[in-house]
Structure 1
């Protein structure tokens, strides 16, 4: 009886495997994306590997049509450029998620529109800070310094903070370009706070009484301002709070059960500031000047 012939079938690895199962291939793809065409010598110098270990990796990228040989240079093809860009986006997204896994997992991300959540990797390196519950209303000095040194400030507030009116008034006095968005419940609180016939604290202390009167006057001044940079948000989904300046970006989210948390994201990288500004503008488009809302309250 004749034995059956054993036929060896070689399957070509997928494009995904070709890119991600080799650090050399992946890094070469990203190198050509970031720095443009490179000669063999330049590639060898960058990776500091023997050329004989690099050439098989280049050949596989060439076989897939991702890299082309142009004379002595290796260059990305048109499709290679597209794929390299997507690879970079994916790696950035994985990196920021992995570095801050607990923050992204524990918080409700539905207040971030999908087109920005898909670009969350643009935030780059961020820090996650946690407020001390014993000083929950104390704003860290590193944040206040960045705020008063900024040229423009954009803020979204859905949780009342006693110092917010003072900070906003201070920005205006310093000539800082300030735009603030509050939710309708916050606007109602502010409107109640500035009503003189409804004292929110009874005291015989004259110094404290004067401070309370000044506090009410500042709130009233803000509410009566004709400026169009104090807005009321009319949508449903919202972050807990957000601040974007030309120096710093802060984002605080509710947890998955809709509860307040003590953690917030902070970054000063240019790409994060741009991402944060786009998020703020998303909410601004669903807001209107406070003067248009006061009559309806």
Structure 2
């Protein structure tokens, strides 16, 4: 089948799109499809014929139920991914438009739909402490923490060390050389020695600015970006507790970990 023709067949018809999605959960009779989709039987039948003609669906001769073919299922998977991507782009449009995306590698931008079930938190200037308080509440319930932070939040290191030393939370942090050196400068010598003695704390240095700041734990992802002028946006965070978003965050952390060097 011509690719352009297939795109036109699927994209130009909401009804055909709905049929593929309805059949993704299993075979269905015409009456079942009508209940799910809400269109007339004649309209659905016409669309079914179009899809069957292009080998995207087939009808069981015994049960008379329609089902996706292998190519139909592959097409559905890519359509579902596209829908997730478009929802993520549209739902958080201002977030993507107003920030520097260069810190998100292309292979992760291609999976940006994994962040669909996120919420964008915008903090009013008069309440700048609120997101940090909410963030710390989430962190304190975590069993492990992985973070990339090219910026320094003065109260976070102490809080993280308390979690590592008193609750045995596994912590891995990737930061820049400038931030690391500032941390060492500000930290009491005994705190630095404590970190060295904690087997569940690992700190890595990136020689380049990743231009993203995020934390992923066993129960949430918190993700922030920089403005095009290089300033970090302290007032906008994407937060999600979905499994897809957390897996996306873990993979992005691993991407930067492979580029970093462990120092503690």
Which of the numbers 56, 66, 69 marks the counterpart of 1:66?
Answer: 56
Q: Distance in 2 between matches of 1:219 and 1:130?
A: 34
Is the contact made by 1:68 and 1:74 (CA closer than 8 Å) also made in structure 2?
A: yes
Equivalent position SS for 1:259: coil
Which of the numbers 55, 58, 73 marks the counterpart of 2:45?
Answer: 55
Deviates more, 1:144-153 or 1:219-228: 219-228
Q: Distance in 1 between matches of 2:29 and 2:227?
A: 51
CA offset digits 1:93-144 (Å, max 9, x no partner) = 1111011111011111111111111011011222121234455466543322
- Corresponding position of 1:269: 242
Equivalent residue pairs, number: 257
Q: Distance in 2 between matches of 1:25 and 1:192?
A: 62
Q: Distance in 1 between matches of 2:260 and 2:254?
A: 10
- Corresponding position of 1:14: 5
Go from structure 1 to structure 2 and tell me whether the alpha carbon gap of 1:114 and 1:259 turns closer, same or farther (over 3 Å shift).
Answer: same
Unaligned runs of 5+ in 1: 1-12, 195-215, 292-297
CA offset digits 1:191-213 (Å, max 9, x no partner) = 2113xxxxxxxxxxxxxxxxxxx
Go from structure 1 to structure 2 and tell me whether the alpha carbon gap of 1:132 and 1:219 turns closer, same or farther (over 3 Å shift).
Answer: farther
CA offset digits 1:15-58 (Å, max 9, x no partner) = 2221122211101111222x022222221222233312210011
Is the contact made by 2:224 and 2:236 (CA closer than 8 Å) also made in structure 1?
A: yes
Equivalent position SS for 2:10: helix
- Corresponding position of 1:191: 184
Is the contact made by 2:15 and 2:47 (CA closer than 8 Å) also made in structure 1?
A: yes
Is the contact made by 1:239 and 1:252 (CA closer than 8 Å) also made in structure 2?
A: no
Q: Distance in 1 between matches of 2:192 and 2:130?
A: 24
1:278 aligns with 2:251: yes
Is the contact made by 1:25 and 1:57 (CA closer than 8 Å) also made in structure 2?
A: yes
- Corresponding position of 1:295: none
- Corresponding position of 1:89: 81
- Corresponding position of 1:251: 223
Is the contact made by 2:212 and 2:224 (CA closer than 8 Å) also made in structure 1?
A: yes
Is the contact made by 1:165 and 1:218 (CA closer than 8 Å) also made in structure 2?
A: no
Q: Kindly report the root-mean-square deviation, in angstroms, between the aligned alpha carbons of the 2 structures.
A: 2.1
Deviates more, 1:40-49 or 1:119-128: 40-49
Which of the numbers 22, 34, 37 marks the counterpart of 1:31?
Answer: 22
Deviates more, 1:132-141 or 1:13-22: 132-141
Go from structure 1 to structure 2 and tell me whether the alpha carbon gap of 1:115 and 1:235 turns closer, same or farther (over 3 Å shift).
Answer: farther
User: 1:277: Cα distance to partner?
Assistant: 1.1
Go from structure 1 to structure 2 and tell me whether the alpha carbon gap of 1:222 and 1:105 turns closer, same or farther (over 3 Å shift).
Answer: farther
